[in-house]
Chain A
Amino acid sequence: MKARTLFDKLWDSHVVEQLPDGTAILYIDRHLIHEVTSPQAFEGLRMAGRKIHNPEAMMAVIDHNVPTTDRSKPIEEDDSRQQIEALEHNVKEFGVPFIPLQSDKQGIIHVVGPEEGITLPGMTIVCGDSHTSTHGAFGALAFGIGTSEVEHVMATQTLLQKPAKNLKIEINGTLRPGMSAKDVVLAVIGHIGTAGGTGHVIEFTGSVIRNLDMAGRMTVCNMAIEGGARSGLIAPDEVTFEYIKGRPNAPQGADFDAAVGYWKSLASDEGAHYDKVITINVDNLEPMVTWGTSPEDVLPITGNIPDPALLKDESQRLRKQRMLDYMDLKIGTPIAGTKIDAVFIGSCTNSRLEDLRAAAHVLKGKKIANHVWALVVPGSGVIKKQAEAEGLDKIFIDAGFEWREAGCSMCLAMNPDRLKPGQRCASTSNRNFEDRQGPGGRTHLVSPAMAAAAAVKGELTDVREMI
């Protein structure tokens, strides 16, 4: 048989039917939903008198709109409340497994899915949300879809899809102390650009990926989408199986062993064809930080703000100049030392227990700068509890951070957590777009350890000087 990549295997094992024009009807194993992109899909079903094909392939949670402060009070913002109430109503009507807001398990959908063992290797997983790529860390084909497609999956358990191309990114070398998966993926995006993965699914391989824990692998796949890819993938291995074992919704006992047998067969075959291969060495990697308003505009913390005048392409030059104006940065000055107003540790990129530990490690026994407003928003209620059991909450609170309830929060500022115009934030999230963290807000994407270091110094700074 022809040597196949991990992607090829996932694709082949889910094609229900091949249509004459090259489109496939692709079977979907898991459909995750949240309050923002699902209401019109439910409404569409209702209007057409259709049912959900398989509600038990689904999981719903509220994350984008929720306040991260006291949950016992009613939600003040009307449209947020209505979206939440609509989801509560819809899951009941259609019988969709649901984690309510009051549950300890509530959290960001891409954190909760893996945590509950709903995300498993060898699956196809979709969600009306671009960062669905996160689940690719388990060796599942996972990608974001639009509202019409959400409805399509609900009604048919399939999607109409054309296969993507294969891009392999092999990451080798040894990460030095202070460096994390976030620095690796920011460097990758800086290297390939925000359109570098367009039309492709990226499979991440190499010794660095093998040595990452699941939290780190999820961080990498989460941001594959920022490199323009449809999805990220990592072949499942012992680290994956160890993570899954015993999770509430994962196969148990003999079933688990049988599953592992199959999952081991998913890794790309020797000699499989990739449309493109990129190799990156991280021996000299330094902590990374973005300076612009696109994730590809990234620098090592030891670097200086680049000069757009050096760019050949005129429209690029204008675009980068506009970014510098928006970010209020000066050409040629070191990025380290840039004063910040806020720090956000959270989002489906970096809100897992390992991320909180890394930040707490830097903060232990220190205080944040007086002028800094700092938030920690755990990715789920489960993580919050675990962190509290380890005493991490105390470290954060003693340092001057606010310790919040789980949700998307200031990753996209759909809830009340947002920057004021002109405020500058060191953030562990995934998008530094204009206005993303609040109208007029300025975002620098960094790792959890770098965010903690920035909070202490009150400016962007090299975390290696603090550990």
Chain B
Amino acid sequence: MDKFDILTAIAAPLPEENIDTDKIIPARFLKTTKRSGLGKSAFYSWRYDENGKEREEFVLNREPYRQAEILVTYENFGCGSSREHAPWALLDFGIRCVIAPSFADIFFNNSFKNGILPIRLPREICEQLVEDTKMGANAKLTINLEKQEIIRPNGEKISFEVDPLRRQLLLDGLDDIGQTLQHVKSIDDFEEKRKQNQPWYPKVSAEKLSS
């Protein structure tokens, strides 16, 4: 997972409530065997017409928002099915941070697991940030996770809350796996002890499976 410390990037507005995981990535893309490559199908029904042609009017199809790494949206983002394909699709599109008044629980947790920072801020502030995003190429926000603040294009600072453990994992670029691997010595010790106490628990033998 890439580290998340200071991100200065284009922010794109999606000023709507209840954007569900079906909108973020429709069910028909779930039979994939990959988590990468979903970015081109993110927000499919908004981005493409019936013939699969890009809709010019959709914000993420326009410059500079094609380069957006931050989304500003409204209440209950990521509701609906628990599919982890939703954060996978956003990340693959290039999104590292989503700002909204509230998020659906599972999506919120899945985001951290995949290196995306979800930030909860009051609706009025989200509305101001949506205004900021309209400044085109100047629609850049800076997210400083260490200091827990957002810097608006006019230099004003907005502070935000984040769970300390989650914050540390993002700053270190560690996902859950990376965090657990910090305990790898304990895991190895446990395995060793088990081998001594219960030596009769066999390994799975590929050979025996094929005979």
**Could you list which residues of chain A lie within 8 angstroms of chain B, going by C-beta atoms?**
16-17, 21, 25, 27, 29-30, 39-40, 43-44, 47-48, 50, 53-54, 56-59, 79, 82-83, 86, 97-99, 103, 105, 116, 118, 120, 122-123, 146-148, 151-152, 155-158, 160, 248-251, 255-256, 258-259, 262
Contacts and interface: CB of A to CB of B under 8 A. Distances in A.
Contacts of B184: 156
A97 B33 contact: no
B79 to A, nearest CB: 18
A148 B180 CA distance: 13
A251 B200 contact: yes
Contacts of B204: 30, 56-59, 97, 118, 249
Given A48-B177, A148-B113, A249-B208, A57 B31 contact: no
B209 A256 contact: no
B200 A97 contact: no
Contact of A116 (B183, B194, B208): B208
B200 A256 contact: yes
Contacts of A262: 198
Q: Which 10 residue pairs of A and B lie closest in terms of their CB atoms, listed nearest first?
A: A39-B33, A255-B200, A56-B203, A97-B206, A251-B200, A79-B31, A86-B33, A248-B208, A40-B35, A156-B180
Contact of B206 (A27, A47, A53, A98): A98
17 contacts: A43-B35, A44-B35, A56-B205, A58-B204, A82-B33, A97-B204, A99-B209, A146-B82, A148-B110, A152-B177, A156-B181, A248-B208, A249-B209, A251-B200, A251-B201, A251-B202, A262-B198
B209 A248 contact: yes
Nearest to B205: A249
B34 interface: yes
Given A57-B203, A118-B204, A155 B183 contact: no
A43 B176 contact: no
A21 B168 CA distance: 15
Contacts of B211: 248
A160 B176 contact: yes
Q: Could you say which interface size class chain B belongs to?
A: 35 or more
A30 B205 CA distance: 12
B110 to A, nearest CB: 8
Interface in B78-127: 82, 84, 88, 110, 113
A221 to B, nearest CB: 21
B34 A158 contact: no
A455 to B, nearest CB: 32
Contacts of B180: 25, 152, 155-156, 158, 160
Contacts of B209: 59, 97-99, 103, 105, 116, 248-249
Nearest to B184: A156
Contact of B84 (A16, A53, A147, A250): A147
A156 B177 contact: yes
B206 A43 contact: no
Given A116-B209, A148-B113, A156-B177, A25 B33 contact: no
B34 A39 contact: yes
Contacts of B181: 155-156
Given A40-B33, A43-B36, A99-B209, A16 B187 contact: yes
Given A40-B34, A50-B177, A248-B208, A25 B186 contact: yes
A259 B202 CA distance: 11
B27 interface: no
Given A97-B209, A116-B209, A16 B1 contact: no
Contacts of A118: 204
B84 A148 contact: yes
Given A148-B113, A151-B177, A156-B180, A250 B202 contact: yes
B199 interface: yes
B191 interface: yes
Contacts of B34: 39-40, 43
A463 B101 CA distance: 58
A48 B201 contact: no
Given A39-B34, A249-B208, A259-B200, 19 more contacts: A16-B186, A16-B190, A17-B186, A25-B180, A39-B32, A39-B33, A40-B84, A47-B36, A48-B1, A79-B31, A83-B31, A86-B33, A97-B204, A120-B201, A147-B84, A156-B180, A157-B191, A158-B180, A158-B187
Contacts of B210: 99, 103
B177 A155 contact: yes
A26 to B, nearest CB: 10
Nearest to A53: B187
Interface in B156-195: 165, 175-177, 180-181, 183-184, 186-187, 190-191, 194
Most A-side CB within 10 Å, residue of B180, B210, B211 = B180
A148 B113 CA distance: 8
A251 B201 CA distance: 7
Contacts of B36: 43, 47
Nearest to B106: A146
Contacts of A259: 198, 200-201
A150 to B, nearest CB: 11
Contacts of B176: 148, 152, 160
A118 B204 CA distance: 7
A50 B88 CA distance: 19
A156 B177 CA distance: 7
